[in-house]
Amino acid sequence: MNSIVLKASSVNRSYGDHRALRNVSLEIRRGERVALLGASGSGKSTLIRCLCGLETIDPDGGQIEAFGQLLQARGRISPDIRAQRRRIGVIFQQFNLVGRLSVMHNVMTGLSAKAPLWRALAGRYGMGDRARALDALDSIGLAPQAFQRASTLSGGQQQRAAIARVLLQGAELVLADEPVASLDPSSTHRVMEHLAELNRNAGMTLVVSLHHVALAKRYCDRVVALRHGALVYDGPVAALTPAFLEHLYGTAAADLLQEPGSDTSVSEMPPLALAA
């Protein structure tokens, strides 16, 4: 079995005269926990959206493969993209929940890629699907809020509901785009711990876009770092010393080195043990 679940080859993405991604190539292997690191405007969100096919890459020769199948190439999305997206879960900073619907209903939209379109639109799911949704919510501590409106949840709870949705989807690869950028420090660590548990216990491969080195060091093994749309580092997180970050990012490294919500630097953060 091919252990490469995601592969980008010479990927460029432009918006008019601005090139957001510059010749990016990388491979993600099954079971990895990869932090996508970079200062604001480095291209992290653009890369995440290209990797899942929400944005097309430039038609100049690059391509992206998922699970050994072509996802997009030369500015064209694969006709089989819907089938591939069933295996890819995406978590956004904005949560993407419908506030007037129940938490349960929002989580069950994770089944929409597998259900007939009419059923997904009508929100009609069987008792077995509802039981699985409750199990997913219970696993991230939200079962008591299952029938509340999503709008009544805190930011951290909404992000955990988004994680439950991916869990119910049965995704094999999770792409998380700045999932903790708008959360307080306590919620940040709780959400990151749940993402790590998906990797450890459910076997999901995790690629998470982050703004802070401290979080990458605590929760991930590998870092892919971007600067001005170009890949400038791909390797173990242990190599990201303050001196190395300053070499990569200059004065912007100061923001990356701070632990969210505190004055603790990355050099003082203990790693989180995630071994099974």
Amino acid in position 55:
E
The DSSP annotation for the chain comes to ---EEEEEEEEEEEETTEEEEEEEEEEEETT-EEEEE--TTSSHHHHHHHHTTSSPPPSSS-EEEETTEEEEETTEE-TTHHHHHTTEEEEETT----TTSBHHHHHHGGGTTTS-HHHHHHT---HHHHHHHHHHHHHTT-GGGTTSBGGGS-HHHHHHHHHHHHHHHT-SEEEEESTTTTS-HHHHHHHHHHHHHHHHHS--EEEEEES-HHHHHHH-SEEEEEETTEEEEEEEGGG--HHHHHHHHGGGHHHHHBPTTSS-BGGGPPPPP---
Residue 193 has pLDDT above 70, yes or no: yes
What global pTM score does this model have? 0.89
Residue 235 has pLDDT above 70, yes or no: yes
Q: How confident is the model at residue 129 (pLDDT cuts 50, 70, 90)?
A: confident
Phi and psi of 181, rounded to 5°? -65, -30
Tokens of 162: 């988004």
Residue 118 has pLDDT above 60, yes or no: no
Partners of residue 226 on adjacent β-strands: 231
Q: How confident is the model at residue 112 (pLDDT cuts 50, 70, 90)?
A: confident
The percent of residues in the chain predicted with pLDDT above 90, rounded, is: 69
| 41 touches 211 (CB < 8 A) | no
- Looking at residue 111, what is its pLDDT? 86
- Looking at residue 266, what is its pLDDT? 37
